[in-house]
Chains A and B, each alone.
Chain A
């Protein structure tokens, strides 16, 4: 990140509140760099976040107008902001537990109605802040605090969920794909449509330590090895990345 982009962050709250190697920080880095490269007007941007580790990405780290809302309700607050002042660019940045597990209903209805907001889901496959409980995106077989013998239930495929609900601009990247993520952020920041990002950030501390991915570098390597760029063909056993 370049020195001149530091104007987009509140540097008095740094170092971040995240654990070492948290992918949410990579998401924050990509978003700040995207704003910086566009020279985006920070007075014209509202970031809305919910509760959990993902809720901390925007608030307090970003030096824009931020709303830190109640658990799962980031999208309704964002819709309210957009209705009150349609000229603002409204971006929701929150976690998978917040946006898809507790607030899943708001997500599918925002996609159905194609509300012109951007929703960025920092998907770390777990409820990190509360101690590592399984969420709706925890993969089958993954060990968590509430599923010590492995998760029995199928996870949400967020790309398919939002696509199925009617969302048009849907992207997925992992923390390894920081540059592609930044480019996609730049694309959507210049548009006024409903767009959704499923960013697999990875949680080395709560998820990784129970699933042999404790080292952040190992987590990044795992994402690199298991992801495939989407080009018309969708493989369910791989992490499909790209624009859908």
Chain B
């Protein structure tokens, strides 16, 4: 049983609040600029996610959804 971290990347503005509030270090900055000139956040280690919803509650752009994965 794990969690799925969905990032609506076209809403992300790259403030990286999710990087700072995540207790399990799930997020990382993307390596490249996207076509709007923003380095968005990526959930690179979703297997570490404990579903605490800190990122989803603190995202100012409403871009993150954390869902429970059904096995």
Contacts and interface: CB of A to CB of B under 8 A. Distances in A.
Nearest to A218: B20
A182 B16 contact: no
A16 B59 CA distance: 12
A192 B10 CA distance: 38
Contacts, number: 84
A88 interface: no
Interface residues of A, number: 32
A21 B13 CA distance: 8
Nearest to B56: A1
Nearest to B58: A178
A220 interface: yes
Interface stretch (A22-30, A101-109, A153-161, A231-239): A22-30
Nearest to A217: B20
B60 A22 contact: yes
Nearest to B63: A15
Contacts of B47: none
Contacts of A216: 15-17, 60
B50 interface: no
B21 interface: yes
A21 B17 contact: yes
A20 interface: yes
Contacts of B10: 15
A30 B14 CA distance: 19
Contacts of A179: 53, 57
Contacts of B11: 14-16
> Which has the most chain A C-beta neighbours within 10 Å: B6, B13, B14, B53?
B13
A33 B57 contact: yes
B34 to A, nearest CB: 12
Contacts of B58: 26, 29, 175-176, 178, 220
B60 A25 contact: yes
A221 interface: yes
B65 interface: yes
Interface of A: 1-3, 9, 14-16, 18-26, 28-30, 32-33, 175-176, 178-179, 182, 204, 215-217, 220-221
Q: Shortest 10 CB-CB distances between A and B: which pairs?
A: A25-B60, A21-B15, A217-B20, A20-B13, A20-B15, A178-B57, A216-B15, A15-B11, A1-B62, A26-B60
